[in-house]
């Protein structure tokens, strides 16, 4: 009789491969939700350069436009990468690695999306409003993205790690699943 795969110690009744399947499905669904908005925004940005008023933009505004366009392209590249990796590595038995890589691409894509959104806010507010309003609106966007997307979840992650390390001091950092023990088996 074959031995059942080890259960993942997180309170769920699923094996490691089942967890990887669930994690990848959740990640790809999250990417789908974000990607649609970015695609629309990217399409909008592509049309801006062909508008008659584009030539009237200041060099600062054109620089912001260019940076925002690059950030939007980077966002789409990063958020599309998990799907490409999934298709290319399909049925290769490397799901855990795929989930880890896809997660990193998604985090980078979200950072680029924050830059894209901030760039759009800066560009449009600079065109439509006085400088003071532009600074306030753009700074608010920077603070909102930074706090809600990174500061708060990273603070929560740190608290969870601290709590987890207090209850199990031998537990390895879950973000480094590639660390190996003496028997060369992945330690989680």
In this prediction, the residues of the chain whose per-residue pLDDT falls under 70 are 1-11, 166-188
Domain-wise residue ranges, the chain: 16-167
Q: What is the dihedral of CA 94, 97, 101, 102, to 10 degrees?
A: 60
Q: What is the pLDDT of residue 97?
A: 84
Tokens of 86: 């999934």
Q: What is the pLDDT of residue 116?
A: 95
pLDDT tens sequence across 167-185: 654 444 444 444 444 444 4
Q: What is the pLDDT of residue 19?
A: 83
Q: What is the pLDDT of residue 82?
A: 87
The rounded distance, in Å, linking the Cα atoms of 71 and 38 is 10
The rounded distance, in Å, linking the Cα atoms of 97 and 4 is 21
Tokens of 102: 């896809």
């Amino acid at each position: 009789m074959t031995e059942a795969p080890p259960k993942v110690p997180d309170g769920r009744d699923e094996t490691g491969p089942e967890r990887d399947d669930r994690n990848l499905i959740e990640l790809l669904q999250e990417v789908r939700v974000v990607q649609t908005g970015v695609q629309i925004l990217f399409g909008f940005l592509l049309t801006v350069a062909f508008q008659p008023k584009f030539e009237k933009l200041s060099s600062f505004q054109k620089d912001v436009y260019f940076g925002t366009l690059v950030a939007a392209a980077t966002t789409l590249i990063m958020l599309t990468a998990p799907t490409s990796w999934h298709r290319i590595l399909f049925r290769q038995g490397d799901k855990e690695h795929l989930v880890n890589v896809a997660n990193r691409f998604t985090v980078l894509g979200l950072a680029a999306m924050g830059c894209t959104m901030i760039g759009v806010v800066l560009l449009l507010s600079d065109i439509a409003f006085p400088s003071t309003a532009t600074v306030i609106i753009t700074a608010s966007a920077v603070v909102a993205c930074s706090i809600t997307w990174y500061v708060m979840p990273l603070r929560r992650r740190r608290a969870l790690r601290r709590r987890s390390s207090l209850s199990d001091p031998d537990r390895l950092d879950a973000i480094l699943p590639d660390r190996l023990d003496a028997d060369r088996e992945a330690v989680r």
